[in-house]
């Protein structure tokens, strides 16, 4: 009997090829396209052709792939689930002075839950997506690891998936590189889809203007947050800003202040509506604390250990020492200070190619405790002490939506 798998299909090349690959491998495929938002609500003042996912064209593309290759396809409406969690939290995070990551929020709290719920309704044993990542079973755990194509690796966005979800997840593209996927799309007769561009914008902000989006969603936002002080670290006021939610850590442009040298946003205080700026040196910190963690490879991190950590999507990663300081807290100390560690973003910890753990960055620590077990050379050696093929090289990684 064929194993039944529910495949999330956005109408893009990655998810389309993932579905057809599984179909050709003998799975009983059911395709599903999830409508997460309304274009008219997200871009109320824009006219012309809809762009991004969740458009009528994208849903029709996904449906046509299923019809062409002879498997079932459904469209489901999860706008309320998505809006209640992802969009509301996205807005709340900016209002709290943090810079959110909606893709991780969606994967962790909405997409996989929605997929598994529909999978159970349809008697599907597995779910699949077009993400560039891999998962394997080892020592009773489901281990998430980087995709073969490190330029497209999306494991950073999947760290929050709990074990029961990973155990039922298949990533058909994990062992392929992107050019191979476009070639397979043409082989499968998906000619129009094969050359679709990758999508990098936030799915519910297709014009990529989050400031416009916040203004549309929050009544009188400009009036309530504009004209707050911009200060230096010593408290000296050097300007006024347009509203703290419209800035992020590390931002240089758009500050409209002239001090004779470059300055960057170094901290945001929503309680006082204050932006602090400083030199580039003031952006560097060595230690961060993360909450709402998820331990992936092991059930916990019992001892301080060397690892590799990424602090944003396109971060190449850097050697660090990680320790679990509480049930729901990680402390990550980098061997060299990192630039613009941003509260609201994620830190994802790697052990070789495997995701060790991840969490939401809460704050930086200016005076971290001395790392006792490892110096830089030992930590770097420990990261690569296995076979050379297991080394993590994310020097040119970038992540796009499937």
Catalytic residues, by residue number, are 106, 203
Contact between 294 and 165 under an 8 Å Cβ cutoff? The reply is no
Question: Quick one: which of 196, 197, 219, 207 has its CA closest to 47?
Answer: 207
392 contact partners, CB below 8 Å, separation of at least 6? 146, 308, 317, 350, 352, 353, 383
Structural tokens at position 77? 């409406």
Structural tokens at position 145? 């690891």
């Amino acid at each position: 009997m064929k194993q039944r798998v529910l495949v999330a299909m956005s109408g893009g090349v990655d998810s389309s090829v993932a579905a057809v690959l599984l179909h050709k491998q003998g799975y009983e495929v059911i395709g599903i396209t999830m409508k997460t938002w309304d274009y008219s609500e997200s871009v109320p003042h824009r006219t012309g052709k809809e762009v991004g996912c969740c458009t009528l064209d994208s849903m029709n593309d996904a449906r046509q792939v299923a019809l062409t290759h002879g498997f079932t396809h459904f469209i489901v409406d999860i706008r309320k689930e998505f809006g209640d969690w992802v969009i509301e939290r996205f807005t709340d995070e900016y209002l709290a002075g943090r810079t959110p990551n909606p893709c991780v929020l969606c994967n962790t709290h909405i997409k996989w839950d929605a997929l598994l719920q529909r999978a159970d309704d349809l008697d599907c044993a597995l779910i699949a997506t077009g993400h560039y990542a891999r998962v394997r079973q080892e020592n009773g755990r489901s281990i998430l690891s980087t995709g073969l194509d490190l330029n497209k690796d999306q494991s950073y966005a999947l760290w929050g998936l709990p074990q029961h979800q990973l155990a039922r997840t298949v990533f058909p593209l994990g062992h392929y590189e992107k050019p191979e996927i476009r070639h397979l799309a043409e082989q499968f007769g998906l000619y129009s889809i094969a050359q679709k561009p990758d999508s990098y914008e936030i799915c519910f902000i297709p014009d990529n203007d989050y400031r416009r989006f916040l203004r549309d969603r929050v009544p009188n936002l400009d009036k309530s947050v504009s004209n707050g002080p911009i200060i230096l670290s010593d408290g000296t006021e050097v300007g006024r800003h347009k509203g703290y939610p419209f800035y992020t850590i590390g931002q240089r442009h758009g500050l409209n202040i002239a001090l004779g040298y470059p300055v960057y946003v170094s901290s945001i205080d929503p309680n006082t509506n204050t932006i602090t700026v400083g030199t580039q040196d003031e952006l560097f910190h060595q230690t961060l604390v993360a909450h709402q963690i998820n331990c992936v490879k092991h059930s916990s991190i019992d001892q301080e250990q060397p690892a590799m950590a990424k602090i944003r999507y396109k971060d190449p990663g850097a050697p660090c020492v990680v320790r679990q300081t509480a049930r729901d807290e990680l402390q990550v100390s980098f061997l060299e200070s990192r630039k613009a560690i941003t509260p609201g973003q994620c830190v994802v910890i790697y052990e070789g190619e495997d995701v060790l753990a991840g969490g939401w960055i809460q704050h930086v620590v200016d005076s971290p405790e001395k790392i006792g077990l490892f110096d830089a050379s030992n930590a770097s050696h420990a990261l690569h002490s296995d076979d050379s093929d297991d080394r993590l090289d994310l020097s040119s990684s970038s992540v796009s939506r499937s």
